[in-house]
Structure 1
Amino acid sequence: MTGTGRAALDRHKLFAARLLAVRARPYLATALFALHVVESRRVPTMAVDRHWRCYVSPGFVDRTPVAELAGVWVHEVSHLLRDHHGRGDRYLREHGLTGAGERLRVNIAADCEINDDAYGDGLDEPEDVVRPMTLGLPEGKPMEEYLRMFRLGPRTADFAWLDCGSGSDGLDRDWELGPAGAHGLSEQERDAVRFRVAQGITGRPGRVPKSWQRWAEEAFHPPHAWRDLLGAAVRSAVSGAGAGDDYSYGRPSRRSAGVPGAVLPSLRRRPPHVSVVIDTSASVSDAELGSALLEVAAIARAVGGRRDLVTVLPCDAAALVVHPLCRAEGIPLVGGGGTDLRTGFARALRRHPRPDVVVALTDGQTPWPVARPACRTVVGLFDRSRASWDEENPDYVPEAPPEWARVVHIGRR
């Protein structure tokens, strides 16, 4: 007992739960042991700050079985590994959202993303855990997509108590120790922990869930300014007027009441489709082709993580095969000949359903369509110095992308 008559934190029970978490999720061991425990009576359960401190309520530890505590360890460290604080900050900033309610919404969406594989295999699930199905949402989506799917209301009223700390939503709490406090990890140390975890997952994937495998692949490629720009360009294109709009008789127009005997269609919003044309000509390096697949993953996130809405067309002088992104790992980027992305544009525009956006990833050494396509266009240009265009013809300069395309330079910092 402490001097105030309140029980101290049972660290033996807490650390026994961490060992159980490590046995159940060995690929997270480095991250679990990197967390520094801080006893706190101001958190309802357990919480993490962005500096990798874990705040723990003594009462919560006393009343919670070890198998449940182990699951909460995994839950909290998942917030930090998946950068929910940074992603939450970016989402709210990009959408002009402020206030405690929006931060709670980020916490709920982040929980929906990680709770699909945080429990099970020896880790018991608490009764009040946030699940997508609790909110009537599909499982397996990223936090950003969940944020677009729900608002605070009756279904979220039971989660008003939820507070996983700044590590879950990016907002510093007054009970946190802050950047100058003791036992926090530096930015370099946090990156090193993520790298070690990702290295362990990719080296021995075994029974690691697909969501963690995807995270590990992306962890080796930190975000760059151009990736943010590319994602923003695609989001802007798919949200523009006319993109994803179509007429449907599924819900008749309200104007039908003014036209007796006729049923008028209403304008409905359908999910946007994106076709990605990848330049596979000889002038594009293997490293750039690998980068192109990473950009495709960023494009999928820009449209809400719906990989079924993204198709990929490898193209040099011809575009022969269209690949669905749901099989991204097996997409062969074949080519190696000359470059004519006009064939890729033509093939993409013949697709059904027709794309709302065409994204071309290229070094720019290609002829471009003469006429503006009947959809929005984004061009990702691999960075080139003038000397690398044509060593035998120093005066050669490729034609610039047309004015109707939104251009993002890939590789410039």
Structure 2
Amino acid sequence: MDTTKLLAARYRAATDRPYLASALYALTVVPSDAVPTMGVDRHWRCYVSAGFVERTPVAELAAVWVHEVAHLLRDHHGRAELLSAADQRDRYRVNAAQDCEINDDLIADGLPLPAGRLEPRLFGLPEGQLFEAYLAALPPSPRTHDCGSGAHAQPAPWESDGRAGHTRVGTVEAEALRRHTAEAMRAHVRARGTLPGGWQRWADEVLEPTVDWRQVLAGAVREAAAWAAGAVDYTYRRPSRRSAALRGVVLPSLRRPLPRVAVVIDTSGSMGEPEIAAALAEVTGVLREVGIQGNHVTVLACDADVQAVSRVTSAGQITLSGGGGTDMRVGITAALAGRERPDIIVVLTDGHTPWPEETPSCRLVAVLIGPSAPAAPPWVETVRVG
């Protein structure tokens, strides 16, 4: 194999895109007559065909280096393991979807990929999507080369079994390489201001990972419910069983009250109904899981005034009204002024509202809907949606 040409191509890729240099040089080259072109395993070993190197120009070889390392940087094998069993079995379709995710960014970056490359447009699909989105639209087993277990997570026939003594990159080191590369990309943007959109989104996700708002919301509501339910007290309505041991003496028993919840919904004109419905469904689902439902939940539809107050057991029972200005203080005040004071108030809003000047005498959870929602005061427990 023409090792000089192969390594010259890697040098060119690392020189032209220095933010990828650490990841490119972490790859261990493994010559293989069994691999058709180039491929990677999940241990950052790059298998290379001597014939492919001989017939491919250096510029195109450099592009293939970037393509293969992109599979590993984007953790395609880890993400592939989260697919359904049926999807995992169709490794070529998974690989094709992953190639679509990578190649549109590389083409936009001016990399001369070899002929026969797969792109979203070849399947009538939009650019800029993740491979999971492309996967459902691709035909079964489309014709494509096999990039190896570093892509689709299934070992290829030409991969090393580990006994040949080839260097491998472990999970912790791989994560460090991903973070280092993402930081190098961010520095590159600050210096030169240019980076393909797909790489930019990837770097942002690595450095500032997106947390599933449903999990955060469930945790916040459960914690608030547990806090309120922990407010035990004594009651004579149900005498203690120990009273039988003391003739003529009635002892109180401990009671653990079920928390009362008020959900204040921003129904002003700036709120999107699908987002409200999704967040409300999650809130009611969490409350049902922790045993809070029925007459323990009050919903207030509010814009600049309280439009409706109702007791509900599911999101489907709620009628949203309003559509004017926004002042969630009105809804919070109305909830606290009710006959049965709530232990928890959950506010669903886009954040474009004034907030009370002081902490209310109960737990307050703000569900801020939309990416541009302004921050709530620091004393408000906040969950961001969208």
TM over 0.5, shorter chain: yes
SS at match of 1:37: strand
Rounded to whole Å, the distance in 2 between the matches of 1:349 and 1:112 is: 36
The one-letter code matched in structure 1 to 2:188 is: R
How many residues are matched? 261
Query: In the alignment, is the contact (CA less than 8 A) between 2:44 and 2:72 conserved in 1?
Result: yes
Rounded to whole Å, the distance in 1 between the matches of 2:317 and 2:169 is: 47
Query: In the alignment, is the contact (CA less than 8 A) between 1:16 and 1:66 conserved in 2?
Result: yes
Query: In the alignment, is the contact (CA less than 8 A) between 1:133 and 1:139 conserved in 2?
Result: yes
Matched, 1:104 2:92: yes
Rounded to whole Å, the distance in 1 between the matches of 2:161 and 2:277 is: 45
Structure 1's 368 and 69: CA in aligned 2 closer, same or farther, altered over 3 A? farther
Query: In the alignment, is the contact (CA less than 8 A) between 1:172 and 1:178 conserved in 2?
Result: no
Rounded to whole Å, the distance in 1 between the matches of 2:155 and 2:210 is: 23
Match for residue 78 of structure 1 among 66, 70, 74: 70
SS at match of 2:159: coil
> Displacement of 1:116 after TM fit?
0.9
Q: Residues 318-337 of structure 1 correspond to what in structure 2 (within 5 A)? A: none
Query: In the alignment, is the contact (CA less than 8 A) between 1:112 and 1:131 conserved in 2?
Result: yes
2:241 aligned partner: none
Rounded to whole Å, the distance in 2 between the matches of 1:123 and 1:89 is: 29
Structure 1's 188 and 350: CA in aligned 2 closer, same or farther, altered over 3 A? closer
1:358 aligned partner: 279
SS at match of 1:150: coil
Task: Give a deviation string over 1:221-246, Cα, whole Å, max 9, x none.
Answer: 5688xx49859xxxxxxxxxxxxxxx
Rounded to whole Å, the distance in 2 between the matches of 1:229 and 1:103 is: 31
Task: Give a deviation string over 1:241-266, Cα, whole Å, max 9, x none.
Answer: xxxxxxxxxxxxxxxxxxxxxxxxxx
SS at match of 1:197: helix
Rounded to whole Å, the distance in 2 between the matches of 1:340 and 1:28 is: 51
Rounded to whole Å, the distance in 2 between the matches of 1:136 and 1:56 is: 31
1:209 aligned partner: 196
Task: Give a deviation string over 1:20-53, Cα, whole Å, max 9, x none.
Answer: 2123222111111111110011111100000001
Rounded to whole Å, the distance in 1 between the matches of 2:208 and 2:271 is: 34
Query: In the alignment, is the contact (CA less than 8 A) between 1:67 and 1:122 conserved in 2?
Result: no
The one-letter code matched in structure 2 to 1:163 is: D
Matched, 1:11 2:3: yes
Match for residue 166 of structure 1 among 129, 141, 149: 149
1:342 aligned partner: 264
Rounded to whole Å, the distance in 2 between the matches of 1:63 and 1:85 is: 29
Structure 1's 228 and 60: CA in aligned 2 closer, same or farther, altered over 3 A? farther
Q: Residues 186-197 of structure 1 correspond to what in structure 2 (within 5 A)? A: 186-197=170-181
> Displacement of 1:351 after TM fit?
3.4
Matched, 1:200 2:184: yes
SS at match of 1:172: coil
Contiguous gaps of at least 5 residues in structure 2: 225-260, 288-296, 300-310, 319-345, 347-358, 366-382
Rounded to whole Å, the distance in 2 between the matches of 1:375 and 1:134 is: 46
Query: In the alignment, is the contact (CA less than 8 A) between 1:198 and 1:219 conserved in 2?
Result: yes
1:374 aligned partner: 316
Match for residue 92 of structure 1 among 84, 90, 93: 84
Match for residue 124 of structure 2 among 112, 131, 136: 136
The alignment-based identity, stated in percent, is 41
Rounded to whole Å, the distance in 1 between the matches of 2:205 and 2:275 is: 29
Structure 1's 204 and 349: CA in aligned 2 closer, same or farther, altered over 3 A? closer
Structure 1's 223 and 190: CA in aligned 2 closer, same or farther, altered over 3 A? farther
SS at match of 1:69: helix
Match for residue 113 of structure 2 among 125, 146, 151: 125
Structure 1's 71 and 368: CA in aligned 2 closer, same or farther, altered over 3 A? farther
Rounded to whole Å, the distance in 2 between the matches of 1:228 and 1:165 is: 34
The one-letter code matched in structure 1 to 2:127 is: E
Query: In the alignment, is the contact (CA less than 8 A) between 1:348 and 1:355 conserved in 2?
Result: no
SS at match of 1:137: coil
Rounded to whole Å, the distance in 2 between the matches of 1:135 and 1:11 is: 36
Structure 1's 98 and 71: CA in aligned 2 closer, same or farther, altered over 3 A? closer
Query: In the alignment, is the contact (CA less than 8 A) between 2:108 and 2:196 conserved in 1?
Result: no
Query: In the alignment, is the contact (CA less than 8 A) between 2:88 and 2:94 conserved in 1?
Result: no
Rounded to whole Å, the distance in 1 between the matches of 2:49 and 2:100 is: 23
Structure 1's 351 and 117: CA in aligned 2 closer, same or farther, altered over 3 A? closer
